[in-house]
Amino acid sequence: MRLPPGRNIAVLISGRGSNLRSIVASKDTLGAEIRLVLSNKASAGGLAFAEEQGIATEVLSHREFSDRAAYDEALVGLLKKYSIDVVVLAGFMRVLGPQFISSFSNRILNIHPSLLPSYPGLDAQGQAIEHGAKVSGCTVHLVDEGTDTGPIIDQAVVPVLAGDTRDTLAARILVHEHRLLPRALQWLVQGRLELQGRNVLIHEE
């Protein structure tokens, strides 16, 4: 199944937005508009950056909702208001439920700091060090209803060095995240991705 191109992107963040910055830096080559930056935290540093770039911002706090389903429903409604058709999770620290996933099926990208399927979930860098891994890295994948289980689009390998801490490993992985995520987003919005079961094929322009 060839995934259709997209036009309007929302980037979801919870923190400083370093991956958001890498996406914005590539906006002239995306072929789509970054229409919205949304956070579940009003204190997220990436919101100020987005405003400086002239991108619309919204805050939707999960604390204002009784449960995950209610939050997801409100989130979907807000994104639809902006005519969003591609969602990028760039450090968004909320697990999204089935309603949200189905509303943007095969249209949600996530970046994860490990070589999936190894070390899904929280503190992937710490998991790698704790298990004595010799290599780690990052993965861009489509989001499904599992935790970091969606079809893999791209990966980069980063060695785990002697004496590495969670923070030193995370910093080296982040360099590759900033390269991989904008490129995978470009492939998606330009309609260059094809899904064959769990395999993702990348077509030339």
- Give me the chain's average pLDDT, please: 96
Q: Which residues contact 167 (CB under 8 A, 6 or more apart)?
A: 125
What does the pLDDT read at residue 103?
A: 97
Question: What region, left, alpha or beta, does residue 185 occupy, with left being phi > 0 and alpha being psi -120 to 50 degrees?
Answer: alpha
Taking the whole predicted model, whether its pTM rises above 0.75 is answered as yes
Chain mean position to CA 118:
17
36 pLDDT more than 90: yes
- Specify the amino acid at residue 46: G
* Distance from C-alpha of 106 to C-alpha of 61, rounded to nearest angstrom: 25
Q: Which of 125, 127, 134 is nearest to 160 (CA)?
A: 134
CB 104 within 8 A of CB 83: no
Tens digits of residue pLDDT in 131-188: 999 999 999 999 999 999 999 999 999 999 999 999 999 999 999 999 999 999 999 9
Structural fold of domain 8-202: Rossmann fold (3.40.50)
If you write DSSP's letter for every residue of 157-179 in order, what string do you get? EEEPPTT--HHHHHHHHHHHHHH
Catalytic residue numbers?
112
54 pLDDT more than 90: yes
What does the pLDDT read at residue 205?
A: 74
DSSP 140: E
